[in-house]
A and B are shown apart, each in its own frame.
Chain A
Amino acid sequence: QQQVKQSPQSLIVQKGGISIINCAYENTAFDYFPWYQQFPGKGPALLIAIRPDVSEKKEGRFTISFNKSAKQFSLHIMDSQPGDSATYFCAAIQGAQKLVFGQGTRLTINP
């Protein structure tokens, strides 16, 4: 019940396209859902996050869509660029508990 399942494991998108990464969870007590971006050889960086009381959050080209009833949330990258090529992790947390991470998605944007 503490798992967060992320898909796909890897994704290739053409430059200018939309990248979509999906996550699903079981624990309805989760109350914060961040996404992290990790470039090779670097630590993950907090990209964008959402709380379950909103259905969508947008920051620049990055949007989180949240479906509370389906217990799913997704990251959309609009107008994907080669510089967006990285590994993306979704995560979930309940209050002061530990973050639960998805397995990661390796995104490649072809020029």
Chain B
Amino acid sequence: SQTIHQWPATLVQPVGSPLSLECTVEGTSNPNLYWYRQAAGRGLQLLFYSVGIGQISSEVPQNLSASRPQDRQFILSSKKLLLSDSGFYLCAWRRLIEQFFGPGTRLTVL
């Protein structure tokens, strides 16, 4: 069966520090991968998606970037965090038309 992992589960970072969130998927190959951000009590904002290694599409211009160095690995990064980067970051993968989410990373920028 397929499993999606995200780490860390929670993170507290100072403003201006770098960021690296990792997502890995097990049990499938060449999945479509997605990064979403969810602000407190709000909906799901698509940040990036990838259909293959090295292929990244950005949905919203911002302080973040994404990379896909391996088939089942998706990384969300920032060189300098802003207060507004705080939120719940969700990775997702897609099989045909069904999309499945990871457990999420809670990021707090102070």
Contact = CB atoms under 8 A, between A and B. Distances in A.
Contact of A101 (B41, B44, B49, B97): B44
Given A93-B97, A98-B49, A43 B103 contact: yes
Contacts of A95: 97
A-B complex: 5 closest residue pairs judged by Cβ atoms: A43-B101, A103-B43, A32-B97, A43-B104, A104-B43
A23 to B, nearest CB: 12
Interface string B80-98: 0000000000101000011
Given A43-B101, A89-B44, A104-B43, 15 more contacts: A34-B98, A34-B99, A36-B101, A42-B103, A42-B104, A43-B90, A43-B92, A43-B102, A43-B103, A49-B98, A89-B43, A98-B46, A99-B99, A103-B42, A103-B43
Given A42-B103, A42-B104, A98-B46, A106 B97 contact: no
Contacts of B43: 89, 101-104
Contacts of A104: 42-44
A51 to B, nearest CB: 9
A41 interface: yes
Contacts of A93: 97
A92 to B, nearest CB: 11
Interface residues of A, number: 20
Provide the main secondary structure of the chain B interface. strand
A94 B46 CA distance: 16
A44 B46 contact: no
A34 B98 CA distance: 8
Most buried by B among A34, A43, A101, A104: A43
Contacts of B101: 36, 43-45
B31 to A, nearest CB: 13
Most buried by B among A98, A102, A104: A98
Contacts of B41: 106
